[in-house]
């Protein structure tokens, strides 16, 4: 079928990249936004615009806040019938479910604190298994005041999950699809290296004034080579992070007995009770446990704050408290957990240093999730993610430019469809994200269910962008440029400026204030990024307009003949 290895790799690179590239560009773009997800949260919810806070007092602030948490109605409705055993009696009413575990989580970038409860189902089908109905709230750690639950944390609750699950949570289909895309991406990266024999030269080759096909291929090669280690590493570590999810369907039922036996052995080895004793017991001062945990961490030359706190088997004689250190000062995803007997405060277990394999896993996971405090490295993550978007986007454009003249002659609609999909997943995707921020500031803060309206706006704007891309794609079938590219760039610029203006009008936090008089970089950074996006979009729109005027349809037909010999016969994505 193919004359040599390079041609077979070219076919693999082209079609793997084309089919899965529409998923990968979403993953890269929203992964880039997720680097600053907490900062986007501050922009989206103005009442949370204050300085990050450490874990507050459990005894004085968190424990009373836990009493305010109720089991989530949707979680109760969706899972109670599955967890409850009707043969044992009627189901326990939602508000009567007993608390079984508490948890609280914060980072060095979080002004607000997330906390939740796992409520136990008393008459469960599997009383020894995980049979929780969950409930959670977000509070102001300075006062304990509850942040309204119907306000969407756009960064951490929408953009970040879009990165790894496409916000398609049913049966974890989104996570599996992104995992498949990451696996295919590894194959595309390897095949891309095989295709490009002169990869070092391509690192220094970019001819922006050449025709679209040539300059696009140069930029595709350049962005792919520059960020090759980043792309390979993050595709691989993404698979590592979600390995347990990918193998869950295999292990959930066939290996359940082995899993249960392992839990029993682990509980015996660590001294951490797996099950509740069924005997009530009080809760000692957790604040005293926090002081002791900090002392022990400092003695091990790794002083730090508590990042995650959990109380297991609440109110039971077997209850214990787990305190995990925040890992803001290192790349590895650290825990250094210390576990206390809840009723007395005595230390049950201090987790030892991880094994060599465990250390590697913590490093790979921490490098991917970037919980560390290093702003320059965070911006390098953003740059790497955006280079991934550029590499995929230019691959789409090159695919269309290389084929649209031939497709026009044969009346094929292939290039037209691919081009419209490319517009939808490039400019359309960014328009949807920025449009969501515009809607966030345009809707009244008191609107009930505001977060749901913002989600609908996101999908609606993206859908309109896709419709526009297909409606305006007619010229592509005639080997000309799709005007939707230029028009959506102008729309993106207008939306980005509108978002900054609306933020200033609705909150008073304009750039003069957030940069100079009352500096608050999370909000200023989002505003400045939006203005930079607007400038880039304007430049792109003007450049595209010039190319539309200067490039008649006949010029596109000549593009293929001017390709260098090195690329002849090799299809690039």
Confidence at residue 562, expressed as pLDDT on a 0 to 100 scale: 43
Q: Is it the case that residue 566 has pLDDT exceeding 80? A: no
- Nearest Cα neighbor of 481 from 572, 528, 389, 543 is 543
pLDDT per residue as tens digits for the range 246-269: 876 655 556 667 767 777 788 888
Is the four-CA dihedral 498, 502, 505, 511 of positive or negative sign? negative
DSSP-based helix, strand, coil % in the chain, nearest 5: 60, 10, 30
Count other C-beta atoms under 10 Å from residue 475's C-beta.
18
Q: What is the pLDDT of residues 183-236, one digit of tens each?
A: 989 988 888 777 766 665 665 566 776 777 878 888 888 888 888 899 999 999
Per-residue pLDDT of 524-555, as tens digits, reads 999 999 999 999 999 999 999 998 888 654 44
Q: What is the pLDDT of residues 46-55, one digit of tens each?
A: 999 999 999 9
Q: Which residue has the higher pLDDT, 569 or 124?
A: 124
Please give the C-alpha separations between residue 171 and each of 175, 263, 326, 572, in angstroms, as whole numbers: 9, 25, 31, 35
Q: Which residue has the higher pLDDT, 493 or 364?
A: 493
At residue 571, the pLDDT reads 37
- For residue 327, the model assigns a pLDDT of 82
CA separation for the pair 287, 507 (Å, rounded):
37
Q: Are 58 and 309 in contact (CB under 8 A)?
A: yes
User: Own/partner pairs for 299-304, CB < 8 Å, 24+ apart?
Assistant: 300/336, 302/336, 304/328, 304/329
For the residues 446-462, what does the mean pLDDT come to? 97
Q: What is the pLDDT of residue 246?
A: 83
- Tokens for 163, please give them: 């990165």
Kindly report the average pLDDT of the chain as a whole number: 89
Report domain extents, the chain: 5-45+163-239+371-567, 51-150+282-342
The band of 332, judged by pLDDT with boundaries at 50, 70 and 90, is confident
Rounded-to-integer distance, Cα 370 and Cα 34, Å: 10
- CB atoms inside a 10 Å sphere around CB 22: 18
Share of the chain above pLDDT 90, in %: 69
pTM metric for this prediction: 0.92
- pLDDT at position 285 over 70: yes
d(CA 265, CA 262): 5
Residue 497 has what pLDDT? 98
DSSP string, 361-427: HHHHHHHHH--S--HHHHHHHHHHHHHHHHHHHHHHHHHHHHHHHHHHHTT--HHHHHHHHHHHHTH
The number of beta carbons lying within 10 Å of the beta carbon of residue 421 is 20
- Rounded alpha-carbon distances, angstroms, from residue 571 to 20, 219, 283, 402: 16, 16, 67, 9
| β strands within 154-248, DSSP E | none
User: What is residue 104's three-state secondary structure?
Assistant: strand
* Three-state secondary-structure class, residue 66: helix
> How far apart are the C-alpha atoms of 278 and 361, rounded to whole Å?
36
Q: What distance in Å separates the CA atoms of residue 93 and residue 328, rounded to the nearest whole number?
A: 41
Structure tokens at 67: 């009493």
- Tell which wins on pLDDT, 25 or 207: 25
Q: Residue 563: pLDDT above 50? A: no
Confidence of residue 56 (pLDDT cuts 50, 70, 90): very high
Total Cβ atoms within 10 A of residue 505: 11
pLDDT of residue 569: 34
């Amino acid at each position: 079928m193919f004359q040599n290895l390079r041609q077979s790799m070219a076919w693999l690179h082209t079609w793997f990249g084309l089919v899965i590239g529409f998923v990968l560009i979403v993953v890269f773009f929203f992964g880039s936004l997720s680097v600053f997800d907490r900062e986007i949260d501050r922009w989206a919810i103005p009442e949370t615009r204050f300085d990050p806070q450490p874990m507050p007092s459990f005894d004085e602030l968190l424990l009373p806040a836990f009493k305010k948490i109720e089991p989530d109605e949707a979680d109760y409705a969706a899972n109670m019938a599955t967890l409850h055993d009707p043969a044992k009696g009627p189901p326990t009413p939602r508000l009567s479910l007993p608390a079984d575990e508490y948890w609280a989580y914060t980072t060095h970038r979080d002004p607000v604190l997330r906390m939740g409860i796992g409520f136990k189902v008393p008459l469960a089908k599997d009383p020894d298994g995980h049979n929780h109905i969950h409930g959670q709230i977000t509070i102001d750690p300075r006062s304990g005041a509850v942040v309204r639950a119907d306000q969407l944390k756009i960064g951490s609750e929408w953009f970040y999950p879009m990165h790894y699950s496409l916000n398609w949570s049913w049966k974890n289909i989104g996570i599996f699809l992104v995992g498949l895309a990451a696996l295919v991406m590894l194959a595309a990266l390897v095949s891309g290296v095989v295709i490009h024999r002169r990869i070092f030269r391509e690192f220094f080759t970019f001819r922006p004034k050449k025709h679209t096909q040539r300059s696009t291929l140069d930029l595709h090669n350049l962005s792919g080579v520059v960020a090759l280690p980043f792309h390979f590493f993050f595709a691989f570590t993404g698979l590592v992070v979600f390995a347990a999810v990918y193998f869950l369907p295999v292990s959930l039922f066939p290996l359940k007995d082995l899993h249960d036996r392992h839990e029993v052995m682990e509980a015996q080895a660590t001294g951490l009770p797996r099950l509740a004793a069924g005997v009530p017991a009080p809760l000692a001062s957790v604040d005293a446990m926090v002081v002791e945990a900090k002392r022990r961490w400092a003695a091990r030359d790794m002083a730090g704050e508590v990042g995650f706190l959990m109380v297991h088997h609440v109110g039971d004689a077997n209850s214990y408290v787990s305190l995990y250190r925040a890992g803001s000062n290192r790349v590895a995803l650290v825990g250094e957990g210390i576990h206390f007997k809840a009723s007395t405060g005595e230390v049950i277990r201090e987790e030892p240093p991880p094994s060599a394999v465990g250390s590697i896993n913590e490093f790979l996971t921490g490098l991917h999730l970037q919980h560390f405090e290093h702003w320059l490295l965070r911006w390098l993550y953003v740059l790497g993610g955006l280079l991934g978007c550029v590499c995929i986007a230019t691959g789409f454009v090159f695919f269309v430019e290389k084929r649209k003249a031939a497709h026009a002659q044969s009346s094929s609609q292939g290039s037209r469809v691919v081009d419209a999909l490319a517009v939808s997943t490039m400019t359309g995707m960014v328009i949807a994200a920025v449009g969501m921020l515009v809607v966030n500031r345009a809707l009244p803060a008191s609107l009930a269910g505001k977060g749901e309206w913002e989600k609908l706006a996101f999908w609606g704007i993206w859908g309109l962008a896709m419709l526009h891309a297909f409606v305006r794609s007619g010229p592509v079938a005639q080997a000309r440029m799709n005007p939707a590219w230029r028009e959506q760039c102008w729309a993106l610029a207008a939306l980005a400026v509108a978002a900054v203006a609306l933020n200033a009008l609705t909150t008073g936090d304009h750039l003069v204030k957030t940069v100079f008089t009352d500096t608050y970089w999370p909000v200023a950074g989002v505003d400045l990024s939006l203005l930079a996006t607007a400038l880039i979009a304007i430049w792109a729109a003007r450049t595209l307009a010039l190319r539309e005027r200067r490039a008649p349809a006949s010029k596109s037909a000549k593009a293929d003949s001017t390709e260098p010999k090195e690329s002849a016969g090799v299809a690039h994505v």
